[in-house]
């Protein structure tokens, strides 16, 4: 055996040809994150892993301080700014630790001593943000919780009760696990409180007005590329006034000063975001992406609604997410059969989160409408056979 062969992946013995496949001959990927990448983006990764921009080295092997990476980093930041129309007084940072670590990094940096922070609880992830903030010692005020209703919807503005003088209002724009989504952002009380948004699973799925936010964070692995980095967009005055007694590696101030590389950054994840940003621009930018996402989700919700109760959507209609669609079938056995049959038909990754069970269909920006049509057809066939 040659040395190259000895480290190759084991061959897949199955010769099964699935009913559905993408234009590139792969399965449709409904995973919630890490998740689908556009096929042309993966092809670009392949080339750049071998020889990045004629440098003679692959991107994975470049130093994070050489001129190629310098160029790439600033280009990526410019591309993120361009895609998101991010105003000049906001910083674009790449951090590590995932969206999850922002649960304590945000209050550590931004919450002045003695101030309260308000949280809107609409999902597993927002309730995790609350738990982590409390554990960190943050005086948390829960301004709304959908827990007793099993997180089937997001609140109307009149249902949100803010505390007297919160420093910020935290909310999760898209609820990845229960499949609900805010149509527009909540309005914080008008005493200087700003919005902090966990936009992990719907960032750049639609236009976003950053001027309404103090800070927005999103792990790269859902709509922006691969896992390993977290995009943080933060207003400059908040960084200027941030707490000083924060360990260097966790300070937004350090990240600004050191251009997101106070140590070795997750450079392939940052690179992946640059390719994804080019892809988004080639699709026509966020207005075009938003339109496509509504069409895609519409195809699947129509199939759910036409099933006469065979599929049972979790979210209330006016809170439905266009990124993550969740539903159940009559019982767990039927769900298991549905997921297995779908998987062998080439529709992969629809098992619900362990917190909810059931099925979850994630159709991030990269997911093609052909896959939504394939799923709708499959759902109809499966319901007829098993209804
Ligand atoms: C996936 C997700 C997270 C967790 O992201 P990590 O990168 O794994 O920390 C947090 N919030 C939301 C809304 C998510 O979808």
Q: Looking at the CA of residue 201, tell me the nearest atom of ligand 1.
A: 15
Please state, in angstroms and as integers, the Cα–Cα distance from residue 161 to each residue in 43, 141, 150, 189, 325, following that order: 49, 9, 19, 10, 28
* Cβ neighbours of residue 296 closer than 8 Å, sequence gap 6 or more: 322, 363, 367, 369, 372
Centroid of ligand 1 to alpha carbon of 201 (angstroms):
7
Known active-site residue 125: yes
CB 336 within 8 A of CB 315: no
Of 351, 87, 59, 99, residue with least CA distance to 223: 99
Q: What 3-state DSSP class applies to 155? A: coil
The pLDDT of residue 5 is: 59
- Report residues whose beta carbon is within 6 angstroms of any ligand 1 atom: 33, 98-100, 125, 172, 176, 198, 200-201, 219
Least confident of 10-14, 182-186, 197-201, 309-313: 10-14
Known active-site residue 222: yes
Centroid of ligand 1 to alpha carbon of 240 (angstroms):
27
Report the C-alpha gap between 372 and 219 in whole angstroms: 24
Q: Which two tokens stand for residue 75?
A: 């280009």
Centroid of ligand 1 to alpha carbon of 302 (angstroms):
28
Of 222, 351, 377, 202, residue with least CA distance to 299: 377
If one residue of 100, 205, 221, 224 were mutated to test the ligand 1 pocket, choosing by the most ligand atoms within 8 A of its CB, it would be 100
Q: pLDDT tier at 3 (50, 70, 90 boundaries)?
A: low
Q: Whose CA is nearest to atom 1 of ligand 1?
A: 200
- The per-residue pLDDT for range 169-186, each reduced to its tens digit, is 999 999 999 999 999 999
Q: Are strands 180-181 and 174-175 parallel, antiparallel or unpaired?
A: antiparallel
**Sheet containing 230-235: order of strands:** 90-95, 230-235, 213-219, 194-198, 168-172, 117-121, 140-145
- The per-residue pLDDT for range 313-354, each reduced to its tens digit, is 999 999 999 999 999 999 999 999 999 999 999 999 999 999
- The per-residue pLDDT for range 145-159, each reduced to its tens digit, is 999 999 999 999 999
What percent of the chain is predicted at pLDDT more than 70?
97
CB atoms within 10 A of CB 331: 9
The pLDDT of residue 10 is: 73
Known active-site residue 279: no
Report the C-alpha gap between 119 and 142 in whole angstroms: 5
The pLDDT of residue 1 is: 45
If one residue of 31, 32, 33 were mutated to test the ligand 1 pocket, choosing by the most ligand atoms within 8 A of its CB, it would be 33
Report the C-alpha gap between 174 and 203 in whole angstroms: 9
């Amino acid at each position: 055996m040659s040395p190259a062969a000895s480290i190759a992946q084991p061959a897949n013995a199955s010769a099964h040809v699935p009913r559905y496949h993408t234009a590139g001959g792969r399965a449709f990927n409904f995973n919630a994150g890490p998740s689908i990448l556009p096929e042309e983006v993966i092809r670009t990764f392949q080339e750049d892993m071998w020889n990045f921009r004629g440098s003679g080295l692959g991107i994975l092997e470049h130093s994070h301080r050489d001129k190629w990476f310098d160029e790439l980093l600033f280009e990526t930041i410019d591309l993120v700014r361009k895609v998101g129309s991010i105003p000049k007084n906001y910083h674009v940072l790449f951090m590590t630790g995932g969206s999850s670590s922002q649960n304590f990094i945000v209050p550590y940096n931004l919450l002045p001593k003695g101030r309260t922070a308000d949280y809107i609880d609409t999902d597993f992830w927002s309730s995790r943000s609350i738990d982590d903030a409390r554990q960190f010692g943050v005086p948390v005020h829960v301004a709304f919780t959908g827990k007793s209703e099993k997180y089937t919807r997001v609140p109307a503005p009149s249902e949100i009760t803010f505390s007297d003088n919160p420093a910020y209002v935290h909310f999760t724009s898209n609820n990845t696990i229960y499949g609900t989504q805010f149509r527009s952002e909540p309005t914080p009380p008008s005493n200087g409180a700003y919005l902090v948004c966990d936009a992990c699973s719907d960032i750049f799925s639609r236009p976003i007005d950053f001027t309404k936010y103090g800070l927005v964070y999103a792990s790269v692995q859902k709509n922006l590329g691969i896992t390993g980095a977290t995009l943080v967009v933060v207003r400059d005055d908040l960084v200027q006034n941030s707490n000083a007694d924060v360990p260097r590696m966790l300070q937004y101030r350090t990240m600004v000063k050191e251009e997101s590389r106070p140590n070795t950054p997750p450079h392939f994840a940052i690179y992946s975001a640059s390719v994804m940003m080019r892809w988004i621009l080639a699709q026509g930018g966020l207005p075009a992406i938003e339109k496509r996402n509504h069409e895609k989700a519409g195809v699947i919700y129509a199939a759910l609604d036409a099933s006469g109760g065979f599929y049972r959507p979790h979210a209330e209609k006016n809170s439905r997410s266009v990124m993550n669609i969740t539903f159940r079938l009559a019982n767990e056995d039927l769900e298991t059969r549905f997921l297995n049959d779908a998987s062998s038909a080439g529709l992969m990754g629809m098992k619900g989160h362990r917190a909810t069970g059931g099925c979850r269909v994630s159709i991030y920006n990269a997911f093609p409408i052909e896959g939504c049509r394939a799923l709708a057809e499959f759902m109809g066939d499966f319901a007829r056979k098993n209804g």
